[in-house]
């Protein structure tokens, strides 16, 4: 098959890590007989330098014309003093909204070879964990009615959590389908003991159960979920939750893996075109030194193969190659604790050798 991928390398380590992912995709293309065509577009600080704006029109058009989008990271000290709407990070919100991405998939996986990176006690993570958080991305309190007013105690500010049936159904559909691609275990996280919006959320989650008889679904209150993630993370397979709860819980889950350079993400909309990116930033402190860990971006590319192109075997091939390289003891600088480490290019070579 033939796939057109828009590349948004961005700033800092962005170009180095995206180049690594491209090399891995090219190797996968060769092995499985696919053609990946890559077209680079500017985003973030480099776009500001070249065109005066963080998200040029050509970039948006190029992404919308592609089959999928791979992003590195944006931002850096050079652009930190620009006004808010001219900052590189503004481009991230712009491209997500232009592509209509309402789902954020954030896996948090503890690789057995990296157990020592985990800040939790060894007995808690003895068997590792592999969680997929499905977060609603364009609704809820971050987008609800808000404002300032005079209240009972004088000046007050308010934000509103509001979810429609349509918004809940579409994110739950993604969550059920994601569970089907994994261990068929779904936990929906809400605050239904207090919030009406959560009660509607919970009702719809269970209405949809009949369409996915293979999936075992349960509810959990968000305060309990925050505790359970550090008490017994291995109990989770797929989590589905609202924008704000997902924002908080996905950061908690990424922290317990202990390695920011390893975590990919995907943002999806109504069609198969998605935006795939590592969860870390542009790491200006190590940019251009061939020292960045490219694995989060390589795993983002593997998510693209699965979620946008439905190429499960190819996607698993990348994940397994990363596993093998880590199990063989190879580490990048961020995971080396002062010991010997491989450069960005060298670890990429090792992953390609193990495909």
Binding site for ligand NAD (CB under 6 A): 13, 73-76, 89, 92, 260-261, 277, 280-286, 292-293, 296, 334
Which of these is catalytic: 142, 185, 341, 350?
Answer: 142
| Cα–Cα separations (whole angstroms), residue 319 to 87, 315, 323, 352 | 34, 7, 6, 11
Q: Token pair for residue 74?
A: 């944006």
Catalytic status, residue 276: no
Q: How far is CA 191 from the centre of its chain?
A: 24
Our CB check for ligand NAD shows the closer of 106 and 280 to be: 280
Instruction: Examine the residue annotation and report whether 142 is marked as an active-site residue of this protein.
Output: yes
Nearer to ligand NAD, 89 or 209 (CB): 89
Cα gap 188→256, rounded to integer Å: 20
Report the residue number, 133 or 296, with the smaller CB distance to ligand NAD.
296
Q: Tell me the CA distances in angstroms from 144 to 108, 191, 197, 201, one per residue in order.
A: 28, 17, 12, 16
* Cα 328 to chain centroid, rounded: 26
Q: Which one of 80, 223, 270, 316 is the catalytic residue?
A: 223
Separation of alpha carbons 167 and 135, rounded Å: 12
Minimum CB separation of residue 233 from ligand NAD in Å reads 22
CA distance 15 to 161: 38
Residue 336's CB is within 10 A of a number of other CB atoms, namely 13
Query: Closest approach of Cβ 143 to ligand NAD, in Å?
Result: 19
191 is catalytic: yes
Nearest-approach distance from CB 74 to ligand NAD, in angstroms: 4
Is 176 considered catalytic here? no
Rounded to a whole number of angstroms, the minimum distance from the CB of residue 307 to ligand NAD is 18
Any residues with CB less than 8 A from the CB of 109 and at least 6 apart, and which? 128, 129, 130, 131, 257, 262
- The residue among 43 and 215 lying less far from ligand NAD, judged by its C-beta, is 43
| Contact (Cβ atoms closer than 8 angstroms) between residue 318 and residue 351 | yes
Which stretches does DSSP call E strand in the chain?
A: 2-10, 35-40, 68-73, 103-110, 129-136, 146-151, 154-159, 185-190, 216-221, 238-241, 264-268, 274-278
**CA gap 36, 8 in Å, rounded:** 15
Q: Based on CB atoms, which residue is closest to ligand NAD, 200 or 287? A: 287
Active-site pick, 247, 291, 307, 334: 247
- Would you say 73 or 172 has its CB closer to ligand NAD? 73
Q: Least Å distance between CB 235 and ligand NAD?
A: 28
CA distance 291 to 233: 30
DSSP 124: T
CB of 296 to ligand NAD, least distance (A): 6
Catalytic (active site) residue 181: no
Active-site annotation, residues = 142, 191, 223, 247, 251
């Amino acid at each position: 098959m033939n796939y057109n991928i828009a590349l948004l390398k961005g700033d800092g380590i962005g170009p180095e890590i995206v180049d690594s992912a491209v090399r891995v995709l090219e190797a996968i293309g060769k092995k499985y007989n696919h053609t990946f065509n890559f077209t680079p577009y500017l985003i973030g600080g480099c776009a500001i330098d070249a065109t005066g704006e963080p998200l040029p029109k050509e970039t948006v058009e190029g992404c919308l014309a592609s089959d999928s989008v791979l992003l590195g990271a944006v931002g850096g000290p050079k652009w930190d003093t620009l006004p808010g709407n001219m900052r590189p990070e503004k481009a991230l919100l712009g491209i997500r909204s232009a592509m209509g991405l309402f789902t954020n998939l954030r896996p948090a996986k503890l690789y057995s070879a990296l157990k020592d990176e985990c800040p939790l006690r060894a007995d808690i993570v003895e068997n590792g964990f592999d969680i997929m958080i499905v977060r609603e991305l364009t609704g809820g309190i971050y987008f609800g009615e808000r404002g300032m007013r005079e209240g009972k105690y004088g000046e007050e500010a308010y934000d509103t959590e509001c979810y429609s049936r349509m918004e809940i159904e579409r994110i739950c559909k993604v969550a059920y389908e994601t569970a089907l691609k994994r261990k068929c275990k779904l936990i929906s996280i809400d605050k239904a003991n207090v919030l009406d919006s959560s009660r509607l959320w919970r009702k719809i989650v269970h209405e949809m159960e009949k369409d996915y008889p293979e999936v075992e679904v349960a509810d959990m209150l968000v305060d309990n979920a925050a505790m359970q993630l550090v008490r017994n993370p291995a109990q989770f397979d797929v989590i589905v939750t609202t924008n704000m709860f997902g924002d908080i819980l996905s950061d908690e889950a990424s922290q317990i893996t202990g390695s920011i350079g390893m975590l990919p993400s995907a943002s999806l909309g109504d069609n198969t075109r998605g935006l795939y990116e590592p969860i870390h930033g542009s790491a200006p402190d190590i940019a251009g030194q061939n020292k960045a860990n490219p694995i989060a971006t390589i795993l983002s590319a593997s998510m693209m193969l699965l979620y946008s192109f439905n190429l499960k075997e190819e996607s698993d091939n990348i994940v397994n190659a990363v596993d093998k390289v880590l199990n063989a003891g190879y580490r990048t600088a961020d995971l080396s604790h002062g010991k010997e480490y491989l450069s960005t290019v060298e670890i990429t070579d090792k992953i390609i050798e193990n495909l």
